């Protein structure tokens, strides 16, 4: 069977080149006589794999030496608890609610301290990013939290909030490595990798050293959720998700070959422009996000007719365009066009949309 164009929001499309490399090395990684799936995380061979992965990630993001990189098990949801457990030393934090994941993160943080919701776009179904230039942030807040790119609703912080001197914590799961980033503007950057970087089951935490120097905010923080311990053990306190990290390392090298994060941004902007330009002139399809806050990664759109939306999704699937059904809270369709989605995939989608409009408009 030929490969389809996979517009899934996650787990998502991976570079075909990376998948082929993994397949070639499945039974014998570089003459070791075994798969990476089988080898000890304490072995010299695997130690080189995880060290190379961190090195390449640091180079891609220009991560300063005073930031720790931690490869972890679990999805980003685990960080909803780990963030307050490690950082909420004053028992208070500010959250900006721009979608389902920020909302869930805030609810989890409320188990550990006071959560101040300093801005929200819930009033318009999270279709925009609120003005965050002059937020009323409590002086004693330990951090300000955002979900930088909203997978479900298709919005993106193109300007970071004015945190007024407080640490910024960002969940970047669905925009990770999609464009250049100034790491020094954040106290913590974290994300699940299953959208832009690798297979589900790995999360990456990038945290400034001084924030974890004294250990977590709560003495009862489980050892496995203690960033200080994880960092001190170079992500090898216990068996990490070895194969997933290996695949991430392959993707890091692929991104470097694609021109690094500048090259990735240009690639993603080109893809997004093709789709947004079509939506802006279409008489049948309509984007759901305020244009200024549109994501390069996730593009929700609707016809305004549920039956027509369902017909579109069904016929698109038959045409080899998979996973275009939108999230239930938005309806319609959603095209996730992450790093590994080729331009040809977006062009084929737009051609299909134009034909569908001609036949159904």
Chosen domain end from 257, 277, 306: 257
For residue 95, is it within any domain? yes
For residue 46, is it within any domain? yes
- My answer on whether 159 and 253 are in the same domain is yes
pLDDT at 215: 95
Over residues 306-311, mean pLDDT: 95
Half-sphere exposure of 234 (CA within 13 A, CB side): 12
Among this protein's residues, is 227 annotated catalytic? no
For residue 13, is it within any domain? no
- Please give the C-alpha separations between residue 110 and each of 66, 81, 249, in angstroms, as whole numbers: 29, 9, 35
The DSSP bridge pattern shows strands 188-192 and 167-171 to be parallel
Provide the number of structural domains found in the chain.
2
Catalytic residue among 92, 101, 253, 271: 101
- My answer on whether 300 and 323 are in the same domain is yes
CA dihedral 276, 281, 283, 286 (to 10 degrees): 30
Query: Given a cut of 80, is residue 323 above it in pLDDT?
Result: yes
pLDDT at 12: 96
CB-count burial class (<10 Å; 0-12, 13-18, 19+) for 323: buried
Looking at residue 344, which CATH number applies to its domain?
Answer: 3.90.1150.10
SS3 category, 105: helix
- My answer on whether 81 and 177 are in the same domain is yes
For residue 2, is it within any domain? no
- pLDDT tens profile 128-145: 999 999 999 999 999 999
Q: With bands split at pLDDT 50, 70 and 90, how would you rate the model's confidence at 2?
A: confident
Catalytic residue among 56, 142, 171, 309: 171
pLDDT at 44: 95
Q: With bands split at pLDDT 50, 70 and 90, how would you rate the model's confidence at 1?
A: low
Domain that holds residue 228: 18-257
- My answer on whether 301 and 225 are in the same domain is no
For residue 1, is it within any domain? no
- pLDDT tens profile 73-112: 988 889 999 999 999 999 999 999 999 999 999 999 999 9
Across-strand partners of 336?
Answer: 298
Q: With bands split at pLDDT 50, 70 and 90, how would you rate the model's confidence at 32?
A: very high
For residue 348, is it within any domain? yes
Among this protein's residues, is 101 annotated catalytic? yes
- My answer on whether 78 and 181 are in the same domain is yes
SS3 category, 258: coil
- pLDDT tens profile 3-26: 999 999 999 999 999 999 999 999
> The pTM is what?
0.96
For residue 164, is it within any domain? yes
Chosen domain end from 257, 283, 303: 257
- My answer on whether 169 and 22 are in the same domain is yes
- My answer on whether 167 and 52 are in the same domain is yes
- My answer on whether 253 and 269 are in the same domain is no
pLDDT at 75: 83
- My answer on whether 57 and 192 are in the same domain is yes
SS3 category, 206: strand
- My answer on whether 110 and 142 are in the same domain is yes
Catalytic residue among 68, 156, 195, 271: 195
> Looking up tokens 């311990």, which residue turns up?
229
- My answer on whether 302 and 346 are in the same domain is yes
How far does the chain reach from its first CA to its final CA, in angstroms? 32
Looking at residue 214, which CATH number applies to its domain?
Answer: 3.40.640.10
Chosen domain end from 222, 257, 292: 257
Among this protein's residues, is 182 annotated catalytic? no
- My answer on whether 213 and 300 are in the same domain is no
Over residues 57-76, mean pLDDT: 95
The pLDDT mean for the chain works out to 96
For residue 200, is it within any domain? yes
């Amino acid at each position: 069977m030929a490969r389809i164009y996979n517009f899934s929001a996650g787990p998502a499309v991976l570079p075909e080149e990376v998948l082929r490399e993994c397949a070639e090395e499945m039974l014998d990684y570089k003459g070791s006589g075994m798969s990476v799936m089988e080898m000890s995380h304490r072995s010299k061979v695997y130690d080189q794999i995880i060290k190379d992965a961190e090195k390449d990630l640091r180079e891609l993001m220009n991560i300063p030496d005073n930031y720790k990189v931690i490869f972890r098990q679990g999805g980003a949801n685990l960080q909803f608890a780990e963030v307050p457990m490690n950082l909420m030393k004053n028992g208070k934090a500010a959250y900006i609610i721009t979608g389902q994941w920020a909302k869930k993160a805030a609810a989890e943080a409320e188990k550990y301290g006071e959560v101040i919701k300093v801005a929200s776009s819930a009033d318009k179904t999270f279709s925009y990013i609120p003005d965050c230039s002059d937020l009323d942030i409590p002086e004693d807040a330990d951090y300000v939290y955002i979900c930088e790119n909203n997978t479900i609703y298709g919005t993106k912080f193109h300007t970071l909030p004015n945190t007024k001197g407080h640490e910024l914590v960002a969940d970047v799961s669905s925009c990770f490595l999609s464009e250049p980033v100034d790491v020094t503007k954040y106290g913590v950057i974290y994300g699940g990798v299953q959208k832009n970087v690798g297979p589900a089951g790995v999360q990456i935490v990038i945290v400034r050293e001084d924030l974890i120097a004294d250990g977590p905010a709560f003495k009862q923080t489980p050892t496995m959720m203690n960033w200080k311990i994880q960092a001190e053990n170079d992500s090898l306190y216990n068996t990490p998700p070895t194969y997933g990290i290996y695949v991430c390392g392959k993707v890091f090298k692929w991104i470097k070959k694609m021109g690094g994060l500048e090259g990735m941004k240009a690639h993603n902007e080109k893809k997004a422009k093709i789709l947004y330009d079509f939506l802006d002139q279409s008489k049948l399809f309509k984007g759901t996000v305020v244009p200024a806050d549109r994501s390069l990664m996730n593009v929700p759109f609707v016809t305004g007719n549920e039956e027509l939306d369902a017909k579109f999704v069904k016929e698109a699937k038959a045409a080899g365009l998979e996973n275009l059904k939108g999230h239930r809270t938005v309806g319609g369709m959603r095209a996730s066009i992450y790093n590994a989605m080729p331009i040809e995939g977006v062009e084929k989608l737009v051609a299909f949309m134009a034909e569908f409009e001609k036949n159904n408009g």
